[in-house]
Amino acid sequence: MNSAKSAAIILFIVCFAAACNSSSTLTTNQAQPLASPATPVAAATATPDPFAEAYLDFQKNCQVCHGEKGQGGRVEIEGRKLKVPSLRDGHALEHTDEKFVKQITDGDEEMPAFRDKLSPNEINDLVRFIRKELQGK
């Protein structure tokens, strides 16, 4: 193959690639005005309360035993009398995040395991919720 011919082929390929590129850039540009309004809305609903979801998880899964504010106390659940510790003070202040995560994931004597109900992320968020909203840390 002579060099002029191969140069022409290369030039052709480069032009072709550039044309492809610019046309795909065009399509993304056109799509952007449609896509962008969705982003600020999603961000706006996420920002006001970073714990909104964790709070819902708490209400749904934990409140029956630990109480609305995590204060604990004596509760009767399905015929069993439990003495539930406060998540706001006492031992709960000293136990590490890792211990909390393990306790929520695997359960304990009377505390049910949540590994099948909550994802590791949801459990981490719950621990952060307990620290910030219940313990004020």
Q: How far is the CB of 41 from ligand HEC (least distance, A)?
A: 30
Torsion-angle region of 62 (φ positive above 0: left; ψ -120 to 50: alpha; else: beta): alpha
Residue among 37 and 79 whose Cβ is closer to ligand HEC: 79
Q: How far is the CB of 87 from ligand HEC (least distance, A)?
A: 6
135 contacts 88 by C-beta, under 8 angstroms: yes
Residue/partner pairs of 99-103 with CB below 8 Å, 24 or more apart: 100/127, 100/130, 101/127
Distance (Å, rounded) from C-alpha 21 to C-alpha 3?
A: 26
Residue among 12 and 60 whose Cβ is closer to ligand HEC: 60
Distance (Å, rounded) from C-alpha 15 to C-alpha 8?
A: 10
Q: How far is the CB of 105 from ligand HEC (least distance, A)?
A: 10
Q: How far is the CB of 34 from ligand HEC (least distance, A)?
A: 40
Q: How far is the CB of 45 from ligand HEC (least distance, A)?
A: 23
Distance (Å, rounded) from C-alpha 104 to C-alpha 15?
A: 60
Please give the residue ranges that form the binding site for ligand HEC (CB under 6 A). 61-62, 64-66, 77, 82, 84-85, 87, 91-92, 95, 100, 103-104, 108-112, 114, 126
Residue among 49 and 89 whose Cβ is closer to ligand HEC: 89
Residue among 32 and 116 whose Cβ is closer to ligand HEC: 116
Residue among 62 and 133 whose Cβ is closer to ligand HEC: 62
Return the structure tokens found at 51: 């714990």
